[in-house]
Structures are given as C-alpha cells and as structure tokens.
Amino acid sequence: MSEVAQSAILWNARGTMLLILGLAAAVVTLGGCNGDFDQAAFAPNAISLQPIHAPPPAPREAEPVSAPPEPVQPQTDPGADAIVGQIAKSIRPRNVDAEPQTRISLSRLYNQSHASGREFEALRNRLARVLNLSGRSYGMWFEVQPSASIDYELHGAAYLVTVAGRDQWELHLSLRPAGGSWTVWRADGPLRMFRQFQRGDRQILWPDTDPQ
C-alpha cells in the first residue's frame, strides 16, 4: 500500500475518533444542563426547604380595668338614728369636716338588773356599736370605757323586763358634759333592746315614741 493511502486511512480514523469524542462531550454537556433545568425549574414535586417565618401575633387589646366595687355600708338602726339625731341638736353646733369627733362615754350606764356583769358589758358594747353606725355622719363616737378625751357622758340605768314573752333591756338615758352635773339631752321615754337579739329584730325600740 502506498504511503498516501496509509496516510488517508490514518487521517480518517483520527477524524472519526475526534468526531466521536466531540459528540460524547456534547451529550454529557447537554445531559448536565437538562438535569439542572429539570430539577430546578420544572420538577413537579419540588419542595422548598427555605424556613417559613410566621407573622408576629397581633398585640392583644388591653382589657378594660373595672373600678373596684364600692364597699357596702351596713344599714343603720332607725332607733339609733333617732337618738343620735336628737343628741346632735342638743349639743353645741360643730363643723363635722373640720373639727375632731365628739366622743361620748357609756361608762355611766349602770346595771340595775339581775343579769351578770359579763352580759351587761355585752349589752353596752352592742349599744355602742349600733350608735356608732348612726353617729358617723354627725362626727360622733361612742365609747364603752372612759378616757381623757371624752366630751360627754351618757348616764342611765338598765333593767331587765319581759314584754310579749321576750326579755328586753329597758334603758333610761340622759346626756351630760364630761364631769358636768347638768343634762343637755334626755330620752323622752325608756328605750328597749332585746336581751337575745335575733335576725330581723330592730336594735333599739322606743315603746312610747315613734323613732322615725
């Protein structure tokens, strides 16, 4: 075979090999591009792995603050209201907002019954409590024990009587200045309080007068 023919055969073989290598490289390149394209853009089940940030919760509106309930004031007794009202008219006029309380002692109220001293003390304490409820609006304060700051003294005697089948304390009361001998107020008649107080009872009864 001539050198020319041999060269031609070698040239054709080399060219064929280069052509095959070029096609292979193109296929690899196109395959890589197609893979990236399909996965990134057109994969039907593609799932985004980026974190999802939930929106911050809306601020809660402040609940309206309700005002504290007004304290319930205990009811006063009509009989005690009448006593305090009469005493207020009998003593010197005073400015309740500007002046200190008028202090009245019950230490001059004495036991003239067969009841024990302990029971009588319970009566005086109950009388002081019911009078103090009515006396607040007049600036009056009733005390069982005497003190140096007393302005007036409630004098009187307490007896036990039975009316309509119930034991009652019968009180005869008058008011004097502390240490004084003259009377500035006297109850129009005997006042009564049940010995055993029951729910629904009036505290102070005026049998001979209308306390209203």
pTM: 0.63
* Rounded Cα distance, 76 and 141, in Å: 14
Instruction: State the greatest distance between any 2 C-alpha atoms of the chain, in Å, as a whole number.
Output: 169
Residue 202: count of CB within 10 angstroms of its CB: 16
Q: Identify the pLDDT of residue 149.
A: 86
* Rounded Cα distance, 110 and 114, in Å: 12
CA proximity to 204, closest of 117, 128, 102: 128
Residue 133: count of CB within 10 angstroms of its CB: 18
> Can you give the pLDDT of all 212 residues of the chain as single tens digits?
555 445 444 445 555 555 555 555 544 454 444 444 444 444 445 455 555 566 666 666 666 666 666 556 678 999 999 999 999 999 876 655 656 789 999 999 999 999 999 999 999 999 999 999 999 989 999 999 877 789 999 999 999 999 989 999 999 999 999 989 999 999 989 999 999 988 888 899 976 544 43
Q: Identify the pLDDT of residue 119.
A: 96
Q: Identify the pLDDT of residue 3.
A: 54
Q: Identify the pLDDT of residue 69.
A: 60
H-helix segments, 42-185: 78-90, 117-135
Q: Find all residues with CB under 8 Å of 184, minimum gap 6, and list them.
A: 90, 91, 152, 175, 176, 177
Q: Identify the pLDDT of residue 207.
A: 62
* Rounded Cα distance, 13 and 55, in Å: 68
Q: Identify the pLDDT of residue 51.
A: 55
Our CA dihedral for 195, 158, 101, 76, rounded to 10 degrees, sits at 30
* Rounded Cα distance, 205 and 127, in Å: 12
